[in-house]
Structures are given as C-alpha cells and as structure tokens.
Amino acid sequence: MGREQLRIKGRDGALAVLRSALRSGAQRGRLVVVRGSAGIGRTRLLEEVGRRWRSHGVRVADVRVGGRDRHGVDVVVEALRRDFDRLGDPGLIDGISALVRLCGSEAGFPAVVAELGRVFGRIGGLGPTAVLVDDVLGIADPAALLLAARRPGCLLVASVRADAEPARAAELLEMADEVLDLEPLTDEDVAAVAELDADAHRALRTALGELHGNPGTVLATLDLLREQGRLVEAGDGLHALTDPDSPIALPGDHDLLRRARGLGELATRLLAAVDGGLDVDDLRSVAADLGCDVVECGRMVDRLVANGLLVGDPWGQLHCACPALTAAVVPLRRLPVGRNAARTPSEVDTMVVSFARPAPVGEHRRSRSWSATEERIVELISTGRTNRQIGTVLGLSEKTVESHVTRLLAKSGCRSRVGLVVTANRRRGASLGIPAA
C-alpha cells in the first residue's frame, strides 16, 4: 500500500480535482480530460483513481483503447462485460446483449449510439460511476461514444497526449467540462517516487534532463536499470546505482525512441552521431559520413527538431533531447548507412563521426575537430574555472563538463587542462595564419 501511494506522489491536486468531479457527476453527466506529455503519468493517474474509487465502492469501468474500432463501441462493450459483476445490475446484461446484436447488424451507428446512451443511463442510475478511457484519441472518432457515455451519474475521465493532433484534440477539449493538465513532478516528489539515494537521484536527473519530472519515464527507466542489475538496495528503503557515472539510457519502448524509429533508419543514425553536438554548418560533412544526400540529411534534422528529438542550445548547436536518449541510440553510431555499408567491419568500427568544423591544416595530427561547446569549455578553462563553475556558466552538470574534458583530452592527445589551453591557442593562431612558435 505504501509503495502504491509513493508511486502517485505529487498528484494530490489532480486526485482532488477528479474526486470533486466524481461528486459533480452524480448529479449530471460530466467529462474531464486529463492532458499531459508522454511519460507524464496519465495512465498511472487513471489506474490509481480507479483503484482508490473501487476500494470506496464506486463503480468503475476501464475502457482499454486499441484495435481498429472507429467509434470505440467494441472496446466499451468489452469493458462492460469485464466489469459487469462490479457494476452490480443483472439487468445490464440485456443492454450489453443488445449492443452486441446491433454492432453485428445493419441497424446503423445511430441505433448503436442510442443503445449506448440507454446502457450508460442505466449504469449512472445505480449511483456514482466512473468510466476511464486512457488515450481516448486512439479511437478514430470518439465524439459519439463520449456523448453517449456522459449521462447523469457518470463521470467520464479521458486522457489525451499534449502533442495530439490539434484539430482532433480541439474537438475533444471543446466537449470537456474540465481539462486537467498534468505538470512535471518536483525534484522532491520524483525522489520519493523513485526511492533513490542522493547520488543515484542526481545521476537520473542529469540523464533525463527535462524528462526528469515525468514519473512514467522515471519509473520505466528505473525498471530498465533493475533489469540491467545496476539498481540495488542501499538501506533505509532507498536504492543506489552500482555505477552512477555510467550512462543511463531510456528504455527501448519510450516515446522518444518510438518517434525516432518512426522517422526511419537515418533518424536514429543522426541521433547517434550528435553525441558531441551538431553545427548546422557542418551538415555537408555529416551527410558524407553517413553516406546520404546533404538535402536529405538537412530535412531529417528538421524533422528531428520538429519531433522534439533534437534541441538547440544558446550557442546554436543541436543536441539530443536528453543524455538518456543519446545513451539509448549511441550503440548505433558505428552501424553502416548508405555508402558506409560498403566499408569493411574494421573500417566501420574505427569510424568517428564529427560535426565540428574541420581542424586547420598543420594542427596536431592526434587532435580532432572540436565542437562549439568544447571550444567554449576550453575558453573557460583558460580563465581558471573549475568544472562545476563551467557547468554553472553553460547550464550543464559538473559530470557533463567532466565528460567533455575527458573527450577533449582524448581527441587532442593532451595530458592536462593546461595542454588543452595551449592547443586551443595554437588552433586559433593557425586559423589566423600565425605560425606556431
């Protein structure tokens, strides 16, 4: 019981709104739309209110959207059959049977809607009843269903994604008596939901970025870490990461990864390649590395931005939406695409994709191109700032800065931060045609 309460922590306000709506629904039919981004916890909220209301004797019907049912009638009939015993009226069997017969006849959809209205009218007459429809826009045309189910005594709670198709979402929102927008959880609430120690919580926050306030994403990511054996009990009811400095990846079924796969193979390769950041000016070299046309590459970058998979920073570079997305796709970095498919396995394995501008001629051979972020980090190193101070200036975590510095040392062949500053000065001098001393 305590565990279940923690998993819904931070949603007391939303639960109170729905509780109040249930009371109002006892007098008249009512539709509440729960809106939120992917992973924000819409499904978990509906599961929790259903569990709580059933424990208090409220009749609850869970409509599980899916299949090819255009108007949602089939899934409603299935829900009524499944919850028939809990709805508590033997007479409902006649209404359900009538619905089944009408769906299989040529009576037409208006007759089906009329029978649906009668069935929900009977259900509402029994006392407060909640009808929960998760991801309602998974039904192609849900309006008639919602109107039929909104009868006195019935509270209809339907969830919808915040990025749903505007025209369809607008129709749903117009029908709603109330719209409940789910906001990201606070750090404190996430810590309670996740039951992590300070180091693990900090690592998770860094990995998920803006997704850190989404309880669905947090819990799914933690489930993956458990499967990997990286999340262990640390005492006092908390859990710790066995290797908090190692990358944390989004689970494979996360919405961002589904979007990436939906855009095609090039999309995942581009995401895998922007680990160090992408300068749009370097698209030509990126396209050459990936073996695709530069125009095609540019269009895909635009689509990745439009889908929220790539985001810009203040210096004009594009990065993955969060480090956990990078960690999920970066294993694909060395897989061949286009003309790269002709390379030998050893050539592919040693290939390094770089989005920064080519290094000036005469630069140290072990030094590879630096991104704008890396250039800025070295510039701040030259002022004597620590990694933490650099992170504060750039809006990055201390560990992210540390990772950048480690990569810079590997790229340049330098052994110290001072060496990085010296190399940076040589690079600038070479770009201005100044010979090295």
DSSP secondary structure letters along 88-136 = T-TTHHHHHHHHHHHHTSSS-HHHHHHHHHHHHHHHHHTS-EEEEEETG
Residues 177 and 93 grouped into a single domain: yes
In a domain, 255, yes or no: no
In a domain, 366, yes or no: no
In a domain, 50, yes or no: yes
Instruction: Give the pLDDT confidence score for residue 367 in this predicted structure.
Output: 41
d(CA 80, CA 103): 15
Instruction: Give the pLDDT confidence score for residue 89 in this predicted structure.
Output: 64
Give how far Cα 85 sits from Cα of 28, 79, 88, 119, Å. Answer: 24, 11, 6, 15
Residues 276 and 234 grouped into a single domain: no
pLDDT greater at residue 69 or residue 100: 100
Range of the domain at 197: 187-241
CATH number of the domain that 411 lies in? 1.10.10.10
CATH number of the domain that 68 lies in? 3.40.50.300
Residues 225 and 307 grouped into a single domain: no
Task: Name the region of 195 (left: φ>0; alpha: ψ -120 to 50; beta: rest).
Answer: left
Mean pLDDT of 124-135: 85
Which residues are 144's β-sheet partners? none
Instruction: Give the pLDDT confidence score for residue 332 in this predicted structure.
Output: 56
Residues 216 and 271 grouped into a single domain: no
Alpha-carbon Rg for the chain in angstroms: 27
Please provide residue 48's backbone torsions phi and psi, each rounded to the nearest 5 degrees: -70, -45
Task: Identify whether the C-beta of residue 75 lies closer than 8 Å to the C-beta of residue 69.
Answer: yes
Q: What is the pLDDT of residues 285-313, one digit of tens each?
A: 888 888 888 888 888 988 888 888 888 87
Asked if the model's pLDDT at residue 430 lies above 70, the reply is no
Tokens 């209404």 belong to which residue?
A: 95
Q: What share of the chain is helix, strand, coil (3-state, %, to 5)?
A: 55, 10, 30
Identify the domain boundary among 152, 181, 210.
Answer: 181
Instruction: Give the pLDDT confidence score for residue 351 in this predicted structure.
Output: 29
Q: How confident is the model at residue 157 (pLDDT cuts 50, 70, 90)?
A: very high
In a domain, 221, yes or no: yes
Residues 149 and 219 grouped into a single domain: no
Instruction: Give the pLDDT confidence score for residue 325 in this predicted structure.
Output: 92
In a domain, 110, yes or no: yes
In a domain, 93, yes or no: yes
Instruction: Give the pLDDT confidence score for residue 79 in this predicted structure.
Output: 74
Residues 308 and 343 grouped into a single domain: yes
Instruction: Give the pLDDT confidence score for residue 420 in this predicted structure.
Output: 80
Instruction: Give the pLDDT confidence score for residue 356 in this predicted structure.
Output: 33
SS3 11: coil
- In the structure encoding, which two tokens stand for residue 429, read together? 């001098």
Q: How confident is the model at residue 432 (pLDDT cuts 50, 70, 90)?
A: very low
Which residue, among 218, 198, 197, has the nearest Cα to 207 in the 3D structure? 218
Q: What is the pLDDT of residues 333-347, one digit of tens each?
A: 544 333 333 333 333
Asked if the model's pLDDT at residue 416 lies above 80, the reply is no
Instruction: Give the pLDDT confidence score for residue 42 in this predicted structure.
Output: 87
Half-sphere exposure of 5 (CA within 13 A, CB side): 2
Residues 45 and 177 grouped into a single domain: yes
Identify the domain boundary among 162, 181, 200.
Answer: 181
Instruction: Give the pLDDT confidence score for residue 34 in this predicted structure.
Output: 92
In a domain, 356, yes or no: no
Among the listed ranges 101-115, 144-158, 327-341, 342-356, which one has the minimum average pLDDT value?
A: 342-356
Residues 45 and 60 grouped into a single domain: yes
d(CA 185, CA 191): 10
Residues 152 and 276 grouped into a single domain: no
Judged on CB neighbours under 10 Å (0-12, 13-18, 19+), 209 is middle
Query: Which residue type sits at 214?
Result: N
Among the listed ranges 91-95, 131-135, 247-251, 309-313, which one has the minimum average pLDDT value?
A: 91-95
Among the listed ranges 127-131, 192-196, 366-370, which one has the minimum average pLDDT value?
A: 366-370
Mean pLDDT of 406-419: 78
Q: What is the pLDDT of residues 41-61, one digit of tens each?
A: 888 889 888 889 988 888 888
d(CA 112, CA 109): 5
Instruction: Give the pLDDT confidence score for residue 248 in this predicted structure.
Output: 92
Asked if the model's pLDDT at residue 39 lies above 50, the reply is yes
Instruction: Give the pLDDT confidence score for residue 85 in this predicted structure.
Output: 61
Regarding beta strands 317-320 and 278-279, do their DSSP bridges make them parallel or antiparallel, or are they unpaired? antiparallel
Give how far Cα 30 sits from Cα of 43, 44, 45, 150, Å. Answer: 20, 21, 18, 6
Mean pLDDT value across the chain = 76
Q: What is the pLDDT of residues 189-211, one digit of tens each?
A: 777 777 888 888 889 889 998 88
Q: Does an H or E element contain 79, and which?
A: helix 73-82
Residues 166 and 192 grouped into a single domain: no
CB atoms within 10 A of CB 433: 7
What pTM was estimated for this model as a whole?
0.59
Residues 167 and 194 grouped into a single domain: no
- In the structure encoding, which two tokens stand for residue 202, read together? 């900090």
CATH number of the domain that 292 lies in? 1.10.10
Instruction: Give the pLDDT confidence score for residue 25 in this predicted structure.
Output: 66
pLDDT greater at residue 27 or residue 437: 27
Regarding beta strands 30-36 and 154-161, do their DSSP bridges make them parallel or antiparallel, or are they unpaired? parallel
For 34, which DSSP code? E
Residues 147 and 60 grouped into a single domain: yes
Asked if the model's pLDDT at residue 104 lies above 70, the reply is no
Domain count, the chain: 4
Instruction: Give the pLDDT confidence score for residue 33 in this predicted structure.
Output: 93
Asked if the model's pLDDT at residue 111 lies above 90, the reply is no
Judged on CB neighbours under 10 Å (0-12, 13-18, 19+), 110 is exposed
Q: Does an H or E element contain 137, and which?
A: none
In a domain, 414, yes or no: yes
Instruction: Give the pLDDT confidence score for residue 90 in this predicted structure.
Output: 64
Regarding beta strands 129-134 and 278-279, do their DSSP bridges make them parallel or antiparallel, or are they unpaired? unpaired
Q: How confident is the model at residue 31 (pLDDT cuts 50, 70, 90)?
A: very high
Q: Which of 27-31, 101-105, 198-202 has the highest mean pLDDT?
A: 198-202
Q: Enumerate residues 6+ apart whose C-beta is below 8 A from 120.
A: 131, 148, 149, 150, 151, 154
Q: How confident is the model at residue 249 (pLDDT cuts 50, 70, 90)?
A: very high
Mean pLDDT of 354-366: 35
Identify the domain boundary among 317, 350, 383.
Answer: 350
